[in-house]
């Protein structure tokens, strides 16, 4: 399978938004849009990542949607199982609550909450062992890009998780390339730059695992309806991880449409 034959994923990362009533309305609007203007499941997978408190209510609300929209945890504990770990939510607890996906390594977790490569590895290992699919985020800072270290940084982040992943588990990983300087800034990597990095990531993954050829590599960083078609046209961009624009049902739906129609 070449990069362009992979069914794309469009995933909305709601971050620490919105309030419960807002989440309900957002899901309602999205369901209505999907009913009025269907997006074939075979052309684009869709998912949303609400706050942990809303995971189950959003999932329940999506149950009677005209098509599948998965729910994704934004993070999980580095501790597996159950026990005396105040405030934590383990991979097993997520799975037990019917949640099958988790983001790991988002740059906000790395930068603001100090998730080190060691912590990220524990999270990846726990998630995979509990049967979750991991959306693993990588990306370089502006300083790393300006000093010519973007590729090296991102490939290192890919290699970092290799010890946590068993041979048969790579197919349960989706990679999201999110240049840190493009997240929430309105700046997007040019489609050519993004495609070049995605091709490098695929090459790096393929050196680690034969599954690398079939793994979805999403782009994230100020994806909007206005730039989604151009990004979707790149052969190794297999979808988008969308922050700000996913809080607007119309924008999120348009981005998914762009990927469904362009791929
Ligand atoms: C993100 O947080 O994953 C993200 C890509 O945010 P935004 O789309 O707002 O840049």
> How confident is the model over 51-95, as pLDDT tens digits?
999 999 999 999 999 999 999 999 999 999 999 999 999 999 999
Q: How far apart are CA 59 and CA 130, in angstroms?
A: 19
Could you tell me the pLDDT band of residue 253, with boundaries at 50, 70 and 90? very high
**By C-alpha distance, which of 120, 95, 137, 154 is closest to 242?**
137
Contact 58, 50 (CB under 8 A): yes
- Whether 61 contacts 29, CB under 8 Å: no
User: Of the ranges 2-16, 103-117, 179-193, which is most confident?
Assistant: 103-117
Residue nearest to atom 2 of ligand 1 (CA): 243
Ligand 1 centroid to 176 CA: how many Å? 11
Give yes or no: 92 in active site.
Answer: no
Which residues have CB under 8 Å from 43's CB, separation 6+? 7, 8, 259, 260, 261, 263
Determine whether 106 is an active site residue. Answer: yes
| Res 1 pLDDT > 60 | no
Atom of ligand 1 nearest to the CA of 245: 8
List the structure tokens of 171: 């197919």
Beta-carbon count within 10 A of 217 CB: 24
* CA of 209 relative to ligand 1 center, distance in Å: 28
Which residues face 242 on adjacent strands? 12
**pLDDT tens track for 152-194:** 999 999 999 999 999 999 999 999 999 999 988 888 889 999 9
Q: Which residues line ligand 1 (CB under 6 A)?
A: 13, 178, 183-184, 220-223, 241-245
- Average pLDDT score, the chain: 96
The position carrying tokens 């197919």 is: 171
Residue 235's pLDDT is 95
> Which residue has the least CA distance to atom 6 on ligand 1?
243
Class of domain 3-262 (CATH, top level) = alpha beta
Domain ranges of the chain: 3-262
The protein residue whose alpha carbon is closest to atom 4 in ligand 1 is 243
């Amino acid at each position: 399978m070449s990069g362009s034959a992979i069914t794309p994923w469009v995933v909305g990362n709601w971050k620490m938004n919105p309030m419960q009533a807002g989440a309900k309305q957002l899901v309602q609007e999205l369901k209505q849009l999907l009913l009025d203007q269907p997006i074939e499941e075979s052309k684009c997978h869709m998912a949303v990542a609400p706050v942990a408190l809303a995971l189950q209510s959003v999932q329940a609300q999506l149950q009677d949607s005209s098509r599948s929209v998965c729910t994704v945890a934004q993070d999980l504990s580095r501790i597996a199982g159950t026990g005396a770990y105040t405030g934590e939510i383990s991979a097993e607890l997520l799975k037990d609550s019917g949640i099958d996906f988790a983001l790991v390594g988002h740059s906000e977790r790395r930068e603001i909450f100090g998730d080190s490569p060691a912590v990220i590895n524990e999270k990846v290992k726990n998630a995979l062992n509990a049967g979750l699919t991991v959306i693993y985020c990588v990306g370089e800072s502006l300083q790393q890009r300006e000093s010519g270290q973007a590729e090296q940084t991102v490939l290192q982040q890919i290699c970092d998780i290799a010890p946590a992943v068993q041979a048969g588990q790579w197919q349960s990983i989706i990679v999201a390339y999110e240049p840190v300087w493009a997240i929430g800034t309105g700046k997007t990597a040019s489609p050519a730059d993004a495609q070049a990095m995605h091709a490098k990531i695929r090459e790096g993954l393929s050196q680690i695992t034969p599954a690398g050829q079939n793994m979805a590599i999403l782009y994230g960083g100020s994806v909007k309806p206005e730039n989604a078609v151009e990004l979707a046209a790149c052969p190794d961009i297999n979808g988008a991880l969308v922050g700000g624009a996913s809080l607007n049902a119309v924008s999120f739906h348009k981005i998914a449409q762009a990927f469904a129609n362009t791929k």
